[in-house]
Amino acid sequence: MNFNQLVRQAQQMQRKVNKLKKEFEEKVFDFSSQQDLITGKINGKLEIVELNISEQLLEKENKEMLQDLLAVTINENIKKIEKEKDDTLNGATNGVDVSAFL
């Protein structure tokens, strides 16, 4: 394999990774807390696009519980989305580390 072929392959891989990254960023994931007290949607750019909070959590005495539940729920789902993104990109590149391209 000569250098030009290697460059072409790298460019093809870069285009494929960019396409997958764009598709992933447009993807929307549903999330929910235990007992579905908090539900919503978050996109692949890790932006919350919808958030629903149960009426029972909106009572004043539940403020601290609501804050804790929101943080836990969102952080758990961010980790799941990041793992799916990594798995998607690793599958497209056959495990080749392309982090320098991202």
What per-residue confidence (pLDDT) applies to 52?
A: 92
48 is a domain residue: yes
What per-residue confidence (pLDDT) applies to 27?
A: 94
5 is a domain residue: no
What per-residue confidence (pLDDT) applies to 44?
A: 92
pLDDT tens, per residue, the chain with 102 residues: 688 888 888 888 889 888 988 999 999 999 999 899 999 999 999 999 999 999 888 887 888 888 889 999 999 999 999 999 888 888 877 776 655 555
18 is a domain residue: no
28 is a domain residue: yes
d(C-alpha 78, C-alpha 31), whole Å: 10
What per-residue confidence (pLDDT) applies to 2?
A: 86
CATH number of the CATH domain containing 31: 3.30.1310.10
Supply 25's token pair.
């960023």
Domain that holds residue 64: 24-92
d(C-alpha 60, C-alpha 79), whole Å: 30
1 is a domain residue: no
Number of structural domains (the chain) is: 1
17 is a domain residue: no
d(C-alpha 45, C-alpha 18), whole Å: 14
2 is a domain residue: no
Could you give the angle at the alpha carbon of 26 between the alpha carbons of 55 and 72, nearest 5°?
A: 40
